[in-house]
A = this chain, B = another copy of it.
Amino acid sequence: MELQGFERHDHASCIRDGVDAAAEHCRREGLQLTPVRRRVLEILLERHRALGAYDILDTLRDEGLGSQPPVAYRALDFLVKNGFAHRIERLNAFVACNHPGENHSPAFLICRKCDRVAEGQADPASDMLGRSAAAIGFRIERAVVEAEGLCPACQENDRK
């Protein structure tokens, strides 16, 4: 599994790639990446962290793209439904997807100190819970996997 989120990276291309992947996916699927939806995705990619719906709404409002909660929630619903973003239940917040386009079950590492989030993969069928579920006949459709702890950088700072 490839983990992303805590290491340094070329952020400009990270934003560009995210938007491009979404645009391409929408083109193929006949979905509309409208200005609001595109901008919300950009905001998530730019900030590169988990953002609450109202944080995003503040930015939209500043830019004249919408001022009421449904505007933000509708765009986020679209992004989540189509796999361009994920909801972090633990934080009531949203992050841009690191593997857009790919069909995947995300798992997250959330730093409780700096609030940054790394996204990885967790195959729900292969782990202990998945096997036990299969054993009792429970059919898993979706799994929320969110680990909380300290990222490498914050462990460093703790020691200082």
Contacts and interface: CB of A to CB of B under 8 A. Distances in A.
Interface string A1-43: 1010011000000000000000000000000000000000000
B147 A129 contact: yes
A141 B148 contact: yes
B137 A120 contact: no
Nearest to A137: B152
Specify how many copies of this chain sit in the oligomer.
2
Given A142-B148, A144-B145, A6 B136 contact: yes
Given A136-B152, A138-B149, A128 B126 contact: yes
Contact of A129 (B122, B140, B141, B151): B122
A102 interface: no
A121 B124 CA distance: 14
Interface string A112-134: 10000010111110111111110
Interface of A: 1, 3, 6-7, 89-90, 107, 109, 111-112, 118, 120-124, 126-133, 135-152, 155
